Structure 1
Amino acid sequence: MGLLVESRASESRWIERVWRSRSFAAVSMMMSVATSRPELVIWQQHGRVNVAVRGPESKASRAPVPVDTTFFGIVFALGTSMSHLPTSRLVDSSVEIPDTTSASFWLKGGWWSLPTYDNAEAFVARLVSQGVLAADPLVVGVLGGNSPKVSERTLQRRFVAATGLTRGGVRQIDRARQAAALLQEGSSAHDVIDRLGYFDQPHLTRSLKRYVGRSATRLRPAAEPDEPLSLLYKTETWASA
């Protein structure tokens, strides 16, 4: 196996997922699955530490995997962004933080100790308390099921500003990720179509190829291994996005 990935959920309302991985010489490329959330990524190779903020990815794409590298990431909750790095400006791109050491990095006017897999929540709480990380309350409320007291046009504008994507775009990405996760668990394509509201098999196929980079057949447990996929887990917010 060329890429080992471990992840966990979080009780923090600011965090969607925490993950870590390690690459080996057996793999040089992976399929980066579309995602509607921004994330902070830290990786170390040959003793050098790198830190970057990645934005949402609007479609699946092949990405190189540096050999013998350890990775750690914090996937932020939908609608969350850094005040000086708006998510809407990071779609399909990332910003690498230049000032890093083996123990810390410079972010918005101060040095921050590198977070770990186990203390991600405490680190993010500090980001919030220092005003580095914030969320649009209107968007958070809508995602929580509240009815907005603004026009649809205003809501759409605020949603795009907060997430970098339209509500429909988030829904399509999250539904495709949900479908891929179900197929990997052994669900049939018919069950996925019925459960997630796809029109038919071609609709599911187009969605998977665009957002996951795999067909339903290639996602089945018994399928021969392809290039590894990036972090893939079930998301439940697509129905309300």
Structure 2
Amino acid sequence: MTLEFEHRPSESAWVERVWRSRSTDTTAMTSIARIHWDLVFWEDADGMHAGIQGPESRASEAPVPAQAEFLGVRLTLGAFLPELPVPELVDRFAPLPGDGRSFWLGGTRVRFPRFETAEDVVLGLARHGVVSRADPRRDAAASERTRQRRTLAATGLPHRTRRQIQRAAHAAVRLQAGDSPSMVAHELGYFDQPHLAHALRRFVGRSATELATAAGEARPLSLLYKTEADTDR
């Protein structure tokens, strides 16, 4: 079974990454934990659809519509929906109403985006106040407890959990590239290989062996890539 992803980083202050994919014979995938939330669009035999996939605190099995094409817009950390707080989206998918050409979010009608210009959709939502963003300048003068409370409200995940998710994703990318589990555990600050194995199972849903070989390909993984924040232990 295959579920290949094409993705690109974004220079937008609102968008972290844009991705697209296509399902063929795939009916389920392992959705890895992640700290961002996505706007997701897909086309299948029933037409065009839209939804919001919230941050995910753990790896889980997710259904995949057959013979469908997907487009995802992953928002930057700290972007949130004033009418739908991000903590309410954690480990949840929220479908959005649409008419085949456009979708509605926060009372705003928006045309379905394209891969090349997906950022325009988020900018339009931001102009209408549908999407907002945490202000780092305000947080700079706040206490650590206040910053953590604001970040939790904007991201839905505690700081410690976000770091664990990012580190596990970084470990998975390195294991897929051929690095040894012992090297990855040592260089990314895990206590030992069992500690690494526990993190991989919890946040990625794969063992080190499955990531390094074809053993885990019976059910494909969701989008996995290295980010600048991956080096933060």
Class of the TM-score when normalised by the shorter of the 2 chains: over 0.9
Q: Could you say which residue in structure 1 is the equivalent of 2:106? A: 108
Work out whether residues 180 and 212 of structure 1, in 8 Å CA contact, stay in contact via their aligned partners in 2: yes
Q: Could you say which residue in structure 2 is the equivalent of 1:96? A: 95
Give aligned-pair identity as a percent. Answer: 46
The Cα shift of 1:79 comes to 1.1
State whether structure 2 residue 207 is matched by structure 1 residue 207. no
For this pair of structures, how many residues does the alignment match?
233
Partner letter of residue 150 of structure 1? A
Q: Could you say which residue in structure 2 is the equivalent of 1:4? A: 4
Work out whether residues 108 and 125 of structure 2, in 8 Å CA contact, stay in contact via their aligned partners in 1: no
- Scaled by the length of structure 2, the TM-score of the pair is 0.93
Partner letter of residue 160 of structure 1? L
**Deviation digits for residues 145-181 of structure 1 (CA, Å, limit 9, x no counterpart):** xxx3222221111111010001001000111111101
Tell me, which stretches of 5 or more residues in structure 2 are unaligned?
A: none
**Which runs of 4 or more aligned residues in structure 1 lie more than 3 Å from their structure 2 counterparts after TM superposition?**
221-224, 238-241
- Scaled by the length of structure 1, the TM-score of the pair is 0.90
SS in 1 for 2:148: helix
**Deviation digits for residues 76-125 of structure 1 (CA, Å, limit 9, x no counterpart):** 11111122221111101121112x12211122222111111110122222
Work out whether residues 177 and 235 of structure 1, in 8 Å CA contact, stay in contact via their aligned partners in 2: no
The Cα shift of 1:228 comes to 0.4
Q: Could you say which residue in structure 1 is the equivalent of 2:209? A: 217
Give me the whole-angstrom Cα distance separating, in 1, the residues matched to 2:209 and 2:2.
22
Tell me, which stretches of 5 or more residues in structure 1 are unaligned?
A: 143-147
Work out whether residues 15 and 77 of structure 1, in 8 Å CA contact, stay in contact via their aligned partners in 2: yes
Work out whether residues 170 and 238 of structure 1, in 8 Å CA contact, stay in contact via their aligned partners in 2: no
Partner letter of residue 13 of structure 2? R
Aligned alpha-carbon RMSD (Å): 1.9
Structure 1 residues 141 and 167: alpha-carbon distance in aligned structure 2, compared to 1, 3 A threshold? farther
Q: Could you say which residue in structure 1 is the equivalent of 2:14? A: 14
Task: Indicate which of 150, 157, 178 corresponds to 1:158.
Answer: 150
Work out whether residues 200 and 207 of structure 2, in 8 Å CA contact, stay in contact via their aligned partners in 1: yes
